Amino acid sequence: MPATVARSNVMAYNLAGRGSVRMYTPPEVIEDALPSLLDAPVTLKHPPQFVDASSHEKYSRGHVRADAAFDGEYLRSTLVVQGADLIQAIDAGMREVSAGYRYWADFTPGVTPKGEAYDAIRTKVEYNHVAVVPAGRAGHTVCLALDSSEIPSMDEVAVKISGQEVAADKAQAAVDALEAKLAATEARIAELQTKLTVAEGKASDAAIDAAVEAKLAAKAAKAECDAKREKLKAAGVSCDGRDDSFVSAAFDTLEALRKADPEGTRAAVEREAPATQANDKVEKGDKAKKLPPAERRAAERARLNEALAAGKLAG
């Protein structure tokens, strides 16, 4: 949309430390500043800071086209307006324009070529942005050159939502669709989190079951080893200070001897010596001898000791 951006005239400013100052901007200073106006951002009112790369997205609502021209008094250009809020403000009647710029000045009083007195004169200007404002310092002649029929309708304005251009009148629908998609995504995340929690719970239950089984197995193994120690002790083999592997090997040896000589070993392990067994046979080679129970137990201990001495048991 066409606009008058700046004007060569005398304007009053209230400057810190100087009070009210009548500042003159001569035509040549505005003309020299033209390059800095091209593609400058357009803002809704003056932002609290100059627009730069870090604040452009926050404050910019469009830009100045590269068609600026100066006629000796007025600087005119075309403003490309893209922000929906700025369009709404213009539609509501906001029309005046005010340029934001840096300047250098000579505070030497003088008189303009038209005979207007001033307290200071600008010597250099660098434009930063062009703001659409309710009331500009340069007056109502520095404004958007529009009548009501030239104000773009909202369906002619595009805004960016999630990186894509959407017609302004459809922006709310696009936002609603994105919010619905976000809600569905959050619900899916919650569902997956619940499944993960259940899976972790099952894994935890399995780990607990395995630990219980391992503990029960260890308890059973200890009970079995303690029983073997008792049987070995009954056979006259001391297992004090010995580890479980020694006990297991010694018991296996005892069992092997029992199988080789059932009668003699049973008497040694079970400590059963009834009178009726006084004449039990102990087979050794091809000979058989009748031994009293006490002598059979002594013989059993002797065989176990021989096995130990021969290195058949690890200790």
pLDDT in tens, the chain (315 residues): 888 888 899 988 888 888 899 999 999 999 999 999 999 999 999 999 999 999 999 999 999 988 888 988 889 888 888 889 988 888 888 888 888 889 999 999 999 999 999 999 999 999 999 999 887 666 555 565 544 344 444 444 445 555 565 555 566 676 777 788 888 899 899 889 888 888 877 767 777 778 788 888 888 888 998 888 888 888 777 788 888 888 888 888 878 877 776 655 555 444 433 433 333 444 444 444 455 666 666 666 666 666 665 655 544
> Quick one: pLDDT at residue 110?
96
> Quick one: pLDDT at residue 105?
92
Q: Where are the domains of the chain?
A: 2-152, 162-222, 235-309
Please classify residue 98 by burial: count the beta carbons closer than 10 Å to its beta carbon, then call 0-12 exposed, 13-18 middle and 19+ buried.
buried
Element (H, E) at 37: helix 34-37
Contact 124, 104 (CB under 8 A): yes
Distances (CA, A) of 249 to 50, 74, 256, 258, 310: 91, 112, 11, 14, 14
Cα–Cα distance, 90 to 144 (Å, whole number) = 9
> Quick one: pLDDT at residue 210?
81
> Quick one: pLDDT at residue 31?
93
Please classify residue 127 by burial: count the beta carbons closer than 10 Å to its beta carbon, then call 0-12 exposed, 13-18 middle and 19+ buried.
buried
pTM, 2 dp: 0.44
Contact 156, 144 (CB under 8 A): no
DSSP 128-147: EEEEEESS-TT-TTSBB---
> Quick one: pLDDT at residue 300?
65
| DSSP code, position 291 | -
Of 246, 252, 257, the closest CA to residue 302 belongs to 257
> Quick one: pLDDT at residue 152?
43
> Quick one: pLDDT at residue 121?
95
